[in-house]
Amino acid sequence: MELRHLHYFIAVAEELHFSRAAKRLHISQPPLSQQIRGLEDELGVRLFERTKRQVQLTEAGKVFLERSYLVLAQLEQAIEVTQRVERGEVGRLAIGFVGSATYTVLPDILSVFREQFPAVELRLHELTTQEQIQALHHKQVDVGIVRSAIIEPGLSMECVLQESLVLALPQTHPLSAQAKVSLSALADELFILFPAKMGPIFYEQIINICQEAGFRPKVAQEAVQMQTIIGLVAAGLGIALVPACLQNFHRSGVTYRPLQEQTPKTGLYLAWRQHDSSPVIRAFLSLAQKTMQWESNRDDR
């Protein structure tokens, strides 16, 4: 039995007339009658009572019609779900992200993605850049939002945001009175830094910026989360150079100031496995890129 036999049967059952059913199916009547007889022979039952004046469904035919409707409905549903999966509209997506992404790109991307792909189950994991790299390799996350570009075999990276570094100071610090602060003024300050082993590129960037200004930073504390770094600054334990997006983290006792010198910017990057062809991942990457491009164009206006 083929799917077309069900369509033939349903057309005759609904029209109760072979000529009208054949016209509806865009075939001639004799082949249609032959197909229905063949279907009855295969099933071993009569589906129709035929006389010269009328065609009627048998009791078996009525049951088979109900079941045929169900089969076609299930098939249509299967086709629809399959097509939605191919478009990335159905499935699961595990996203890793650095904490600072929550103050800039992540909320916008998630908001748009949730609106356009409501049937995709999202699982979010706040991880450091190095933790995300390992999680991607072990397929514990599907996409990462990492701090700084990393050359890593098997992974692709694309920048979604470049931002300046700013100085986070205790609110009572003398330098907070300045509109802009020179790096050279920080030579004797105690720094709170992100650990080198958790984010080596960002760590080295801070070290290099200070060394170019003529000093190596004195490290008072290390903290894995940017929010923790800001909390330690508020407690007066030191100062910190942080991405500009942290200014969106409103913490009493902290003041942010731009730097006088031009310094290299820090970036947020999408990271994913190069050979992962998951439709959900492709959909997320495409939407994230479009969302951030739109945001960038809006900010430029």
Q: What is the pLDDT of residue 269?
A: 94
Q: Which residues lie across from 218 on neighbouring strands?
A: 190
pTM metric for this prediction: 0.70
* Highest-confidence segment of 6-10, 56-60, 102-106, 181-185: 181-185
Q: In the predicted model, what is the mean pLDDT of residues 164-178? A: 95
pLDDT one-digit tens code per residue, 117-167: 898 889 999 999 999 999 999 999 999 999 988 888 999 999 999 999 999
Higher pLDDT, 235 or 9: 235
Task: Give the count of beta carbons closer than 10 Å to the beta carbon of residue 221.
Answer: 16
Kindly give, in sequence order, each residue whose CB lies less than 8 Å from that of residue 81, ignoring residues fewer than 6 positions away.
90
Residue with tokens 């009658």: 33
Q: What is the pLDDT of residue 204?
A: 92
CA angle 158, 159, 160 (to 5 degrees): 115
Domains, the chain, with CATH or none? 3-86 (1.10.10.10), 91-161+267-300 (3.40.190.10), 165-264 (3.40.190.10)
Q: What percent of the chain has pLDDT over 90?
A: 52
Q: Are 278 and 136 in contact (CB under 8 A)?
A: no
Distance CA 110, CA 116 (A): 10
Kindly give, in sequence order, each residue whose CB lies less than 8 Å from that of residue 278, ignoring residues fewer than 6 positions away.
88, 91, 142
Q: What is the pLDDT of residue 297?
A: 45
Q: Work out the pLDDT band at 197, boundaries 50, 70, 90.
A: confident
Q: Please spell the DSSP secondary structure of 243-294, one letter per residue.
A: EGGGGGS--TTEEEEEBSS----EEEEEEEETT---HHHHHHHHHHHHHHHH
Distance CA 256, CA 197 (A): 26
* Mean pLDDT across the chain: 89
pLDDT one-digit tens code per residue, 224-260: 888 999 999 999 999 999 999 999 888 899 999 999 9
Distance, CA of 212 to chain centre: 38
* Highest-confidence segment of 38-52, 74-88, 177-191: 177-191
Distance CA 171, CA 12 (A): 83
Q: What is the pLDDT of residue 9?
A: 82
For residue 27 the two structure tokens come to: 């075939």
Q: Please spell the DSSP secondary structure of 133-159, one letter per residue.
A: HHHHHTTS-SEEEEES----TTEEEEE
Task: Give the count of beta carbons closer than 10 Å to the beta carbon of residue 274.
Answer: 9
Q: Work out the pLDDT band at 270, boundaries 50, 70, 90.
A: very high
**Minimum mean pLDDT range among 28-37, 83-92, 147-156, 198-207:** 83-92
Does the pLDDT at position 84 exceed 90? no
Q: What is the pLDDT of residue 190?
A: 97
pLDDT one-digit tens code per residue, 18-73: 888 889 989 998 988 898 898 888 889 998 988 878 889 988 888 988 898 888 88
Nearest partner of 146 among 124, 172, 128, judged by Cα: 128
Higher pLDDT, 109 or 199: 109
Q: What is the pLDDT of residue 119?
A: 86
Q: Which residues lie across from 272 on neighbouring strands?
A: 143, 156
Distance, CA of 208 to chain centre: 34
Q: Work out the pLDDT band at 299, boundaries 50, 70, 90.
A: very low
Q: Are 210 and 183 in contact (CB under 8 A)?
A: yes
Q: Work out the pLDDT band at 296, boundaries 50, 70, 90.
A: very low
Distance CA 122, CA 284 (A): 11
Q: Are 252 and 236 in contact (CB under 8 A)?
A: no
Longest CA–CA span in the chain (Å) reads 107
Q: What is the pLDDT of residue 53?
A: 82
Distance CA 259, CA 239 (A): 13
